[in-house]
Structure 1
Amino acid sequence: MTLITDPASRHAATEAPLISALVERWSPRAFDPSAVIDDDTLRTVLEAARWAPSANNTQPWRFIVARRGTDAFTRIHDALAGFNQAWADSAAVLIVNLAETVDPERDAPRPWARYDLGQAVAHLSVQAQHEGLHTHQMGGFDAERLRADFALDDSLEIVSISAIGVVGDAAALPDVLREREVAPRVRKPLGELVISAA
């Protein structure tokens, strides 16, 4: 049984016109396990993250980038929570997203580091979409295991993990995840999200 969803059915029903990469962006769990991201495309996606804005231009983000089939990919995958392990092994790349929360030169906290990392990952996600790829952000993982496996400095906080790849067949997912994969996309109306003082 093939359940690959019509890509247009996943497009956002926006209340205002947006660029296509934002309209088409969604977070699949079904990735094509045979797809490979070439070096130039992966570099382009990471370059988009590099040019994200940050407080005082500190760029307090770091990334552990691992391709499927490598030891690093396996270590990242094995640190994921079970519900993420069920599908993330089909992604072409897993990226551990790190915030440098302490300035190593001044030994001072960087209070905006997580926010800045979020912007960098958002830039990465939009560029990936533009390149014909999809991303899925994950928060279910064993941070201490990853910290030990990659010998991370205490100034680096593991905030999230991104899966990147080409959309695959939803039929390959376990039942509960398959249902979520093809369910209609829902967002709160814009009027519910904007607080106006006027």
Structure 2
Amino acid sequence: MRKPAESSAPLAELIAQRWSPRALDGTGEVSWEQLRALLEAARWAPSFGNTQPARYLVGRRGDDTFRRILATLTPRNQGWAHRAGALLVAVMVTRNEKGEIPYAEYGLGLAGQNLVLQAVAEGLVAHQMAGFDADAVRREFAVPPEAVPRVAIAVGVQGDAEVLGEERDIERERAPRRRLPLGEFAFTGTWGTSALP
């Protein structure tokens, strides 16, 4: 199922096609070559002073790291993410040898966006999740104090919405994508005054 963005201006195809499905094909594979491309895309994201605060824990379906990441997800997310071809945890490094890393969270966000857009380029889908136990990730993977597990990411091959089982989840998967209109998004002069005609 494709759900391209309905935009007021033409968008790059990768941006228009990116969305976050939960319906994944439990037999679909994510190869190491594809994972390498996703991680390279994340690695080349901009960051403040080239501090590169993004790090990733990576597991492919069937391996021990995948199982351990899955166990840290909320039960609701486990209910669909087990079908992912790969699970990752994006980790933000907050300090380096020079001290506190400015804008580390912003840098991790930029890396995450690169990663999910590369997933689209690879014919895959990616769904980022706040619903996981960061402390459990920290314990399970011996994450050091200066690193903060910030978001889990399921990557896989899109499946049929029916795999989600519950009618409300199927409807949610099929629902049109929504965003604020540009008039409520970009301002000029004073807050709330639309920047665009």
Please tell me the TM-score bracket, short chain as reference: over 0.9
Tell me: higher relative CO, structure 1 or 2? Use CA pairs within 8 A at least 6 residues apart: 1
1:130 aligns with 2:121: yes
1:149 aligned onto 2:140: yes
Distance 1:110 1:48 in 2: 21
User: Which residue identity does 1:191 align to in structure 2?
Assistant: G
Q: Secondary structure at the match of 1:145?
A: helix
Which residue does the alignment assign to 1:65?
A: 58
**Alignment partner for residue 81 of structure 2, among 77, 85, 88?**
88
Letter aligned with residue 22 of structure 2: R
Aligned-pair identity (%): 45
Corresponding position: 1:179 with 2:143: no
User: Deviations along 1:54-82, whole A, 9 cap, x unmatched?
Assistant: 00001111000100111111111111011
1:134-162 Cα shifts (integer Å, max 9, x gaps)? 10000011111110000110000011011
| CA deviation string 1:13-37 (max 9, x = no partner) | 0111111111111100011111112
How far the C-alpha of 1:91 sits from its partner, in A, is 0.5
1:75 match: 68
Residue 40 of structure 1, aligned match among 16, 33, 39? 33
* Secondary structure of residue in 2 paired with 1:120: helix
d(CA) in 1 for partners of 2:84, 2:152: 12
Q: Higher mean Cα deviation, 62-71 or 175-184?
A: 175-184
SS in 2 for 1:86: helix
In 2, the alpha carbon distance for the partners of 1:151 and 1:173 equals: 33
Q: Number of aligned pairs?
A: 189
What are structure 2's unaligned runs of at least 5 residues?
Answer: 191-197
Which residue does the alignment assign to 2:44? 51
Residue equivalent to 1:167: 158
Deviation >2 Å, runs of 4+: none
- Residue 195 in 1 paired to residue 187 in 2? yes
Residue 110 of structure 1 deviates from its aligned partner by 1.6
For 1:77 and 1:177, how far apart are their aligned partners in 2?
20
Q: Which residue, out of 90, 102, 109, partners 2:95?
A: 102
| Cα RMSD, aligned residues only | 1.1
Q: Secondary structure at the match of 2:116?
A: helix
User: 2-side partners of 1:57 and 1:142: how far apart?
Assistant: 29
* Structure 1 gap ranges (5+): none
